[in-house]
Amino acid sequence: MNRIISALAMLALIAAASAANAQNLKAPTEPGFKAVSALLAIKSPATNACPAQAKMTGWITTNKPGKVSYMIAKKGGGVSGPFQANAVPSAKGAMATFSRNLTIHQAFDAEYRILVADGTGKVLSNWAPLKASCKIKLGG
């Protein structure tokens, strides 16, 4: 009889410990939104005449869909923004894209990059050059 009582007491202790342990378990949480990488491309004007058009295009990869905030930095100069783009599902998480047409009025030789800052750190794109000679001024 004592063995049965001891066995039941042991089972009760194991059940209580298991229940207490189960209460300490937390449900898995979904990771927060974050930028993973960025890429910038600039198509400089194809002519020596100004004003001329250039095109800036950027891609920001994120871990999941959502709005991503970014800025554009000029090497040795200022920063413009913040701007926002919507990241949509892609093969590797999600991707936000943006495109801007730029009107060039004078000779230009600069480099730009995308800056993405979020709660987990910074993501920087490559430096992309923008060059225009503007040897022929057409006015405007």
Q: How many CB atoms lie within 10 A of CB 62?
A: 26
What φ, ψ does residue 27 adopt, rounded to 5°? -65, 145
At 97-106, the pLDDT tens digits run: 999 999 988 8
Q: What is the pLDDT of residue 2?
A: 57
Which contiguous run of DSSP H or E holds residue 91? none
User: How would you class 5 by CB atoms within 10 Å of its CB: exposed for 0-12, middle for 13-18, buried for 19 or more?
Assistant: exposed
Whole-model pTM: value is 0.73
Banded pLDDT at 136 (limits 50, 70, 90) = confident
Q: Is the pLDDT of residue 124 over 80?
A: yes
Domains located in the chain, CATH noted: 35-137 (2.60.40.10)
What is residue 21's DSSP assignment?
A: H
Lowest-pLDDT range of 43-47, 52-56, 66-70, 85-89: 43-47
What φ, ψ does residue 16 adopt, rounded to 5°? -65, -40
Pairing of strands 136-137, 49-50: parallel
